[in-house]
């Protein structure tokens, strides 16, 4: 199977301003010169991490999802990031996995951040989303999910293959807790023998909470391939299938893991 090229966009979000954020990401995506296959945006990339769900939520037919659909088609790439979505009278912190042909997958954030009252404004999801592209399997997660290793746990399937190859976490993770952020990204890579991509925002949000970014790409033994703090950045990198396979063959730790299934 071939390698996979991803682009991370670490940005300072415009607080609760959908139009401004879509315009900003439009420019940043247009600035990518390299050929890329997946573009990753932060958690709640159109608004920032806001608890104003009733005021800010859009439906799946709203401007933000339509923008993702249009941009994915225009650039012939997959675009992913989370949005505030209303559906059936409930509000979700929903990650969208948008394909160039307009079809998409969704993942509703499982672990709502009670410390900030997220559980009072949003409904938790109960299913993982493992997307596939070019033979790669990608487990998609949102911010606080990173703290819970059982939800992220990789496993060996009946065909002998791991359940996934890359863990992607999109976040609005504050600088005051960036030590756990960085440690957990490495831990998830090591224990699951996968690449981990953590994509965070930078700058102050509307509650004057500072975010240092610290977006990272980490390889399956915990080596840091990319790390960027404080500044906005657009970074493109090619994940190596041969490197992943070689590490898993040399250190077949997943085969000794506890057996359980996550739906």
Q: What residues are labeled active site?
A: 43, 109, 143
**Residue length, the chain?**
263
| Cα separation values, 130 from 28, 73, 156, 224, Å | 26, 21, 14, 23
Dihedral over alpha carbons 135, 144, 178, 152 (to 10 degrees) = -40
Q: Are 146 and 198 contacting, i.e. CB atoms less than 8 angstroms apart?
A: yes
Is the separation of the CB atoms in 111 and 124 below 8 Å?
yes
DSSP at 124: P
Three-state secondary-structure class, residue 29 = helix
CA-closest candidate to residue 11, choices 227, 169, 213: 213
């Amino acid at each position: 199977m071939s390698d996979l090229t991803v682009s991370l966009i670490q940005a300072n979000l415009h607080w609760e301003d959908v139009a401004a954020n879509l315009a900003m990401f439009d420019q940043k995506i247009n600035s990518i010169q390299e050929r890329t296959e997946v573009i990753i945006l932060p958690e709640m990339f159109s608004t920032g991490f806001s608890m104003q769900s009733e005021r800010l939520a859009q439906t799946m037919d709203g401007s933000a999802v339509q923008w993702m659909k249009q941009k994915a088609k225009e650039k012939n790439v997959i675009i992913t990031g989370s949005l505030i979505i209303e559906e059936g009278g409930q509000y979700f912190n929903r990650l969208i996995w948008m394909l160039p042909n307009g079809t998409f997958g969704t993942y509703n954030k499982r672990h709502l951040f009670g410390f900030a009252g997220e559980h009072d404004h949003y409904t938790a999801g109960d299913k993982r989303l493992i997307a596939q592209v070019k033979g790669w399997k990608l487990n998609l997660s949102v911010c606080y999910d990173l703290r819970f290793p059982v939800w992220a746990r990789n496993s060996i399937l009946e065909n002998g293959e791991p359940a996934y190859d890359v863990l992607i976490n999109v976040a609005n993770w504050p600088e005051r807790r960036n030590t756990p952020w960085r440690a957990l990204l490495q831990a998830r890579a090591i224990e699951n023998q996968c690449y981990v991509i953590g994509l965070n925002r930078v700058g102050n949000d509307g509650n004057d909470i500072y975010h240092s970014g610290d977006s990272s790409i980490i390889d399956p033994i915990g080596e840091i391939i990319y790390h960027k703090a404080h500044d906005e950045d657009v970074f493109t990198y090619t994940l190596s299938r041969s490197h992943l396979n070689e590490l898993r063959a040399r250190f077949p730790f997943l085969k000794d893991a506890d057996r359980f299934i996550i739906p």
